[in-house]
Amino acid sequence: MSSPYQHPPLPPHAPTTSPTPAGSVAEGSLRTARRRERAGATAWDEIRGFVDRQDASAVAARVVELDEAARKEVARRLPGYLKVLRDRHESWEGVGDYAAVLRAAGAGVLPGAAAVATWLNRRDFASRWGAPYEDTDRIMAILATRPPEWRAELARRLVLRLRTGEDRGVELALALLRTTGIEAPIHDPLVVGWLETAGRRPVPSEDPLFDLMLPRIFDAQGVGRALQWESGPTGPWLKALCDLAAGDAAKRPTLLEGCVRRFLLGGSALDLRFFARLHEALDPAPHEIEPRAHDYLRLLPAAPGPVAELALRRLRRLDGLDPADLAEAWEALFFRPERKLVRAGLTWLDQLVRLSPELAGSIAGPLALAFAADSAELQEKAVTLAIKHAGRMGDEGRAAVGDALGLLPPDLGRRVHAVFGGVEPAGPDPDPQDGFAPPPLPRPDGPRRMPDPIGSVAETLPLLDGSAGWQAWERLLAGFVALVHQDREGTATALKPGLAGRYEHLYGGGDRWHRIDRWNQVDHWLIGAACSLTGIAPVRSVWKDRLPDARHLCPPDLLLLHRAAEIQMAVEEDVVPPLLLSTPTLTTGHVEASELVTRMEIIEAAGAKPLAADLQQALLRLPGERDPEAAGRAGRLSSPAGRLVARWLAGARLADPVVEVRWSYGEYGERKWFEDGEPDVFPGVKLVPSLHAPATGLPLVDRVFGDPRSSSGVHPAWWPSMFPSHREVAAAHLLPHLLHGEWDEPKVRVSHLHRLARLDGPPGVAVSLVLARLLGNPDMPEAVDALLAMAGRGDLPAAELGRQAALLVGRDQMRLRHLTAALESASRQGAHQEVWTAVAAALPSLVPRPGRRPHHGSAEFLALGATAAAWCRARGAIPEVEAVAARKGSSNLLREARRLHELLTAKEG
């Protein structure tokens, strides 16, 4: 069977409008035109014929031969002919196919430069495929017959009409500038466009615009973005400009001054990337930096990190900077958020003071700022330098340092106080329990009763198009079946007016863009059933060829579509049962056992048979706990379906499958497998779940309890309600879609997670992965509510959550700091015991091994662990944390590891 996902064919490509070689078709067309001229045809008739045939070369050759009267006639008639051309096409097509021939005609006959500029830039000439114009040589040949002053005016007008560097008119504007020799107007898109076109071969000696444009690349907006991907010194522009600086000593100052000027104009790191590379490739010597030292100093406070770094490197090579300037530079560096810059600034300060002790009087203010750094390592380094140079600071400097010790943690504050005085810091570090007591966990609400099925045709029609959620669809499905069984003719009569003329596309009618070859939405089948009921369906037995190929569907969607398709079949064969078995009785999706038995009794009493997929879905929706009374009643059922229900209620129900998850990666079909504890990061990470359950003999049940697939899920929001007693199964089917999105939106959302949290069945690795992934998404803060709900019910798999979260962080599928923020919120709302269990399970994989870089945010994660452990009074060393705590150093990570280890190994009392 063919794939259910049929995309409409792309429209045909626009015809080629490249110039026709001279001496072939164009010459033949001109000979034909001259024969027509002798026969009395007007110039407009000739040009119109060329336009109709899209013969741009013939137009170009003919318009330069027209006399003044003929040119005026064509200029008068040409604009009106656009409407004729538009009428020949669909509204969305435009006249882009005629762009080349129309541009050639207008360039040759329109009188003023303003009129030609407007004509050449008409929006309806733009190709719908986004292709640039390729007629520059042809237009230039036509314009060559115009006076020089006229062409210069046209060049200025075309330049000022440019909106971006990729404008279709860039090449023509540049060609006119080169031939007229005028000075180009100052216009940023022109500069970017020049770079884009000349960047393939930027050789100064070959471009008359080079000397004019070169200084402008440092001022024009958009240049940095256009050149951002230049790859090192081999990039064409970097190489060309460096060669220019090496070969022409007069150009080198221009390039260096231009780079610094561009830095001072500001912009993002991406905007300035090319200029920073050029600056470093030119490698200015100290004597070239010194006259611009104040400009480099101005870059330190707010320039993007890479620019501030290069400015700092150059300043550190200078001697004799003014002490006041140095103090200002250090303050600017210590105020920045980049730890690398703060660290470099502290090293620079230490070196200069050692070489010039008289500078010690200028370092107090900057060091006081460094005390507020967000890194314990940097704070300790600043304290060490302050104490090291305290004797040379003078009374005023010492007082300034003493006044700032409140910015330091208590242990560092005490070190500063011992040397500089000031307000004595507080005693030992505060206990995380002081001042806050976590509240009790919220008690989750129980499931509610489902609303009754719809009871009238008036309620049916608004829901047919499938815009409502799963509960509305279940009510619609159940109501439709009941209405058809009770009054087939009356229901058909009431439905028919609302269906007529609306759904031909489902059966291959209508335009080709909207025809649906495979019915892969549940509403398609319900509409089909309604069309069959009312007699307006043009074909019968569509279930035989409209079901999508099972290989291209996720198993839960396959079950959904079979349930919908069998109703369409039952309508056509007039075997609609009195009711459906699988309509949920609770909002979790459960069907109560007693209600299922009652429904089977009604069907048997009517002498009907239940629908096969409906029966299998009903069995999957039974609650996990036994109902002896319902089982006893089921024993009296006599039909084969009734006896199957009785067996399931008596104890033959399917146990929870075992779910396993493997991590895979690879490209172009290659697949490799991770070991569970491997922390390396690879591209193309995928989750590959597998389910292991004994066969039941029920084909759809066995299919959905088999391995999940990565096929595009059609109705994933409905899946949790299909397995209300087996939430690990529902989560497993979501896993192949967990790490990927669609149109920048995640496929697995918080709404799915909240439904999983309300289901029954033991949660395991699949539920933990879904929960961990969504907790680590900063755009989904509501995921914390799902964690609290599960913790309140007592079925949160906290340890498994921690282990799977560590794997997601280790494989670069989420950021540790986002996970930390979510878990901290949960801990403060009463889940501190569960959060500590999760953190303790995650730490063995997340703390850095010797020689490995820690994950960003590791110190904060350890701090969260210490707080949660203190609140629940946890004890018991974690070997991996103990090993980190034993390392030498004073970074935040090591400080927090020591704090957590001391807390876990402290004696009670």
For 363-380, write each residue's pLDDT tens digit.
Answer: 888 998 898 887 777 888
Indicate whether 769 and 680 sit together in one domain: yes
Judge whether residue 838 has pLDDT over 50.
yes
- The residues with which 130 forms a beta bridge, in sequence order, are none
Range from 193-197, 385-389, 749-753, 841-845 carrying the lowest mean pLDDT:
193-197
Residue 740 pLDDT: 78
Span 883-887, average pLDDT: 92
908 vs 309, higher pLDDT: 309
Span 31-49, average pLDDT: 68
Q: Determine phi and psi for 811, rounding to 5 degrees.
A: -100, 20
Judge whether residue 425 has pLDDT over 80.
no
Neighbours of 824 (CB within 10 A): 19
Span 357-362, average pLDDT: 86
Contact present, 701 and 728 (Cβ < 8 Å): no
Nearest to 252 by CA among 220, 287, 201, 298: 287
Indicate whether 528 and 576 sit together in one domain: yes
Domain total in the chain: 5
Indicate whether 697 and 592 sit together in one domain: no
Span 614-638, average pLDDT: 93
Residue 200 domain-assigned (yes or no)? no
For 799-815, write each residue's pLDDT tens digit.
Answer: 999 999 999 999 989 99
Indicate whether 636 and 498 sit together in one domain: yes
Question: What share of the chain in percent tops pLDDT 90?
Answer: 47
Residue 894 domain-assigned (yes or no)? no
Residue 744 pLDDT: 56
Residue 447's identity, in one-letter code, is: P
Tokens representing 820 are 């930390």
Residue 632 domain-assigned (yes or no)? yes
CA distances (Å), origin 824, targets 122, 459, 817, 863, 896: 58, 46, 10, 10, 16
Nearest to 339 by CA among 864, 861, 892, 863: 892
Tokens representing 478 are 């159940």
Look-up of token digits 């999957």: 620
Range from 291-295, 680-684, 697-701, 833-837 carrying the lowest mean pLDDT:
680-684
Nearest to 857 by CA among 803, 898, 809: 809
Span 742-760, average pLDDT: 84
d(CA 433, CA 866) in angstroms, rounded, equals 10
Range from 339-348, 392-401, 575-584 carrying the lowest mean pLDDT:
392-401
Span 311-336, average pLDDT: 90
Indicate whether 668 and 585 sit together in one domain: no
Indicate whether 625 and 690 sit together in one domain: no
Q: Determine phi and psi for 120, rounding to 5 degrees.
A: -65, -20
Residue 199 pLDDT: 57
CA distances (Å), origin 882, targets 140, 315, 649, 879, 906: 77, 43, 52, 5, 13
Q: Across the chain, what does the average pLDDT equal?
A: 84
Judge whether residue 653 has pLDDT over 70.
no
Span 433-461, average pLDDT: 79
Residue 31 pLDDT: 54
The DSSP-derived string for 716-778 is GGGHHHH-TT-HHHHHHHHGGGTT-EETTEESS-HHHHHHHHT--S---HHHHHHHHHHHT-T
Indicate whether 306 and 229 sit together in one domain: yes
Give the structural domain span for 731: 658-849
18 vs 442, higher pLDDT: 442
Judge whether residue 61 has pLDDT over 60.
yes
Indicate whether 728 and 637 sit together in one domain: no
Judge whether residue 871 has pLDDT over 80.
yes
Indicate whether 666 and 774 sit together in one domain: yes
The residues, any chain, with a CB within 8 Å of residue 201's CB and separated by 6 or more, are: 236
Judge whether residue 577 has pLDDT over 70.
yes
Band the pLDDT of 675: cuts 50, 70, 90.
very low
Indicate whether 528 and 563 sit together in one domain: yes
Residue 647 domain-assigned (yes or no)? yes
Nearest to 418 by CA among 406, 402, 430: 402
The phi-psi region of residue 537 (left if phi > 0; otherwise alpha if psi is between -120 and 50; otherwise beta) is beta
Residue 543 pLDDT: 66
For 12-24, write each residue's pLDDT tens digit.
Answer: 333 333 333 333 4
Residue 461 pLDDT: 72
Indicate whether 307 and 358 sit together in one domain: no
Residue 115 domain-assigned (yes or no)? yes
Residue 888 domain-assigned (yes or no)? no
Residue 4 pLDDT: 30
Residue 535 pLDDT: 85
Among 652, 685, 706, the domain boundary falls at 652
pTM: 0.60
Indicate whether 645 and 667 sit together in one domain: no
For 119-160, write each residue's pLDDT tens digit.
Answer: 998 887 876 555 668 889 999 999 999 999 999 999 999 999
Residue 257 domain-assigned (yes or no)? yes
Nearest to 562 by CA among 599, 507, 612, 516: 612
Residue 323 domain-assigned (yes or no)? no
For 518-566, write each residue's pLDDT tens digit.
Answer: 787 788 888 888 888 888 887 777 767 777 777 778 899 989 989 989 9
Residue 89 pLDDT: 65
Nearest to 465 by CA among 476, 455, 478: 476
Residue 222's identity, in one-letter code, is: G
Among 606, 625, 652, the domain boundary falls at 652
Band the pLDDT of 676: cuts 50, 70, 90.
very low
Range from 170-184, 680-694, 886-900 carrying the lowest mean pLDDT:
680-694
Among 318, 345, 365, the domain boundary falls at 318
